[in-house]
A and B are shown apart, each in its own frame.
Chain A
Amino acid sequence: MDGKYHDINSRLLRIFFTLNGKTLEIEVKPWETTLEVLREQLGLKGTKEGCGIGECGACTILVDGLAVDSCLMPAPKLDGRNVETVEGLRQGEALHPLQEAFLSKGAVQCGYCTPGMLMSAKALLDRNPNPERNELVDALSGNLCRCTGYVQILEAAEEAAETLGKIKQPS
Chain B
Amino acid sequence: MRSRFEYILPRSLKEVLDFLGDRGSQTSIIAGGTDLMIAARNGGVASRYVVDVSRLEEMRVIAVTEGALSIGAAVTFTEIVNSPQIAQWAPILAQAAGCVGSVQIRNVGTLGGNVANASPAADSVPPMLVHRARVQIQSASSERSEPLEEVIIGPYRTTLKPGEVITRFILEPLGHEYRWNFQRIARRRALSAARMNAAVIGRLDSRGMVDELRLSVGSITPEPSRMTGAEEHLKGKIPDPLLIQEAAEKVSLEMVRRSGVRVSTEYKRPAVEGLVVKALTELFIKQSCNA
Seen from chain A, the residues whose Cβ lies within 8 Å of a Cβ on chain B are 1, 5-6, 8, 13, 29-31, 33, 52-57, 60, 66-69, 71-74, 76-77, 79, 120, 123, 138-139, 141-144
B167 CB, min distance to chain A CBs, angstroms: 20
Q: Do B108 and A142 have beta carbons less than 8 Å apart?
A: no
Seen from chain B, the residues whose Cβ lies within 8 Å of a Cβ on chain A are 2-11, 30, 32-34, 37-38, 40-41, 49-50, 52, 54, 78, 101-105, 107-108, 189-191
Summarize A's interface: helix, strand, loop or mixed: loop
Q: Which residues of B contact A123 (CB under 8 A)?
A: 103
Given contacts A5-B10, A54-B105, A68-B107, 12 further A-B contacts (CB under 8 A): A6-B8, A30-B5, A30-B6, A53-B41, A54-B34, A69-B104, A71-B37, A72-B33, A77-B33, A77-B52, A141-B191, A142-B105
- Which of these, B10, B107, B189, contacts A66 with CB under 8 Å? B107
Q: Do B78 and A72 have beta carbons less than 8 Å apart?
A: no
Ranked nearest first, the 8 interchain pairs of A and B with the lowest CB-CB distance are: A142-B102, A30-B7, A141-B190, A66-B107, A76-B7, A72-B37, A5-B9, A69-B104
Q: Smallest CB-CB separation from A52: which chain B residue?
A: B41
- Pick the most buried of A1, A13, A30, A138: most chain B CB atoms within 10 A of its CB: A30
Given known contacts A72-B37, A74-B37, A142 and B4 CB-to-CB distance under 8 angstroms = no
Q: Do A31 and B107 have beta carbons less than 8 Å apart?
A: no
Q: Do A31 and B190 have beta carbons less than 8 Å apart?
A: no
Q: Which residues of A contact B101 (CB under 8 A)?
A: 54, 142
Q: How far is A66 from B105 in the complex, measured between Cα atoms in Å? A: 10
Q: Do A74 and B30 have beta carbons less than 8 Å apart?
A: yes
Q: Do A5 and B37 have beta carbons less than 8 Å apart?
A: no
Q: How far is A1 from B107 in the complex, measured between Cα atoms in Å? A: 24
A111 CB, min distance to chain B CBs, angstroms: 20
Q: How far is A53 from B54 in the complex, measured between Cα atoms in Å? A: 20
Q: Do A142 and B103 have beta carbons less than 8 Å apart?
A: yes
- Which of these, A69, A76, A79, A139, contacts B105 with CB under 8 Å? A69
Q: Do B105 and A1 have beta carbons less than 8 Å apart?
A: no
Q: Do B103 and A73 have beta carbons less than 8 Å apart?
A: no
Given known contacts A13-B7, A30-B6, A53-B38, A141 and B103 CB-to-CB distance under 8 angstroms = yes
Q: Smallest CB-CB separation from B107: which chain A residue?
A: A66
Q: How far is A8 from B19 in the complex, measured between Cα atoms in Å? A: 11
Q: Smallest CB-CB separation from A116: which chain B residue?
A: B104
B24 CB, min distance to chain A CBs, angstroms: 14
Q: Which residues of B contact A8 (CB under 8 A)?
A: 6, 8, 49
A116 CB, min distance to chain B CBs, angstroms: 9
Q: How far is A123 from B11 in the complex, measured between Cα atoms in Å? A: 28
B76 CB, min distance to chain A CBs, angstroms: 9
Q: Which residues of A contact B9 (CB under 8 A)?
A: 1, 5, 76-77, 79
A154 CB, min distance to chain B CBs, angstroms: 14
Q: How far is A130 from B52 in the complex, measured between Cα atoms in Å? A: 36
A-B contact count (CB 8 A): 98
Q: Do B40 and A60 have beta carbons less than 8 Å apart?
A: no
Q: Do A31 and B4 have beta carbons less than 8 Å apart?
A: yes
Q: How far is A140 from B39 in the complex, measured between Cα atoms in Å? A: 26
Q: Do B105 and A31 have beta carbons less than 8 Å apart?
A: no
Q: Do A73 and B49 have beta carbons less than 8 Å apart?
A: no
Q: How far is A33 from B2 in the complex, measured between Cα atoms in Å? A: 10
Q: How far is A142 from B106 in the complex, measured between Cα atoms in Å? A: 10
Q: Smallest CB-CB separation from A74: which chain B residue?
A: B33
Q: How far is A138 from B3 in the complex, measured between Cα atoms in Å? A: 33
Given known contacts A72-B37, A141-B190, A31 and B5 CB-to-CB distance under 8 angstroms = yes
Given known contacts A31-B5, A31-B7, A67 and B107 CB-to-CB distance under 8 angstroms = yes
Q: Do A77 and B54 have beta carbons less than 8 Å apart?
A: yes
A9 CB, min distance to chain B CBs, angstroms: 8
Q: How far is A73 from B7 in the complex, measured between Cα atoms in Å? A: 12
Q: How far is A142 from B189 in the complex, measured between Cα atoms in Å? A: 10
Q: How far is A76 from B55 in the complex, measured between Cα atoms in Å? A: 12
Q: Do A54 and B104 have beta carbons less than 8 Å apart?
A: yes
Q: Smallest CB-CB separation from A61: which chain B residue?
A: B104
Q: Do B37 and A139 have beta carbons less than 8 Å apart?
A: no
Q: Smallest CB-CB separation from B45: which chain A residue?
A: A31
B122 CB, min distance to chain A CBs, angstroms: 15
Q: Do A141 and B52 have beta carbons less than 8 Å apart?
A: no
